[in-house]
Structure 1
Amino acid sequence: MKTPTQVNDPTPPLKPEWLRIPQATQVFGIGRSKLYELIAEGKIKSVSLRKRGQTSGTRLISYDSLADYIESQLKPQM
């Protein structure tokens, strides 16, 4: 059962600044391979966090850049 403060809480949920690949696919409905394609083309911002000398790390996607890219696709192309 929810408490009264939970029911009437006007605070919107916080939007994350960065998403991991699985989160980005869930939130935006874009496939993993498409995300990597957009990163490679420089259409969305991302960063890979890894230790020096490692070949793999944690890939983070900018929420705003991905949202902006999707929004730009709604506008008519000239």
Structure 2
Amino acid sequence: MSWIKWVSTPKVQAQQAIYFGETPANTKACAIMDKLSKGSCAQYHANASAAYFRSIKFWKTPSKDCGNGKSNCMDYGKWQQAWTDIKS
């Protein structure tokens, strides 16, 4: 069995999810997760609905191009300086 097939199995995905504290990529890992650590499937949203996953917003590095037609965004350098000023 190739490594990618092995690491994608429900058993390995369950072990990784619990060890790293993250949602498994293989949804069949849920039952195994709960056997290894009661309630972990719900804790890491492994059995969440598709609507939940669509609601997740990922980090986007600040860019001068807002990407939505607006022109009030700043590049990463300016953002980083503003963040440094706020923290000071």
More strand by share: 1
TM-score by length of 2: 0.26
TM-score by length of 1: 0.29
* Structure with the greater alpha carbon radius of gyration: 2
More helix by share: 2
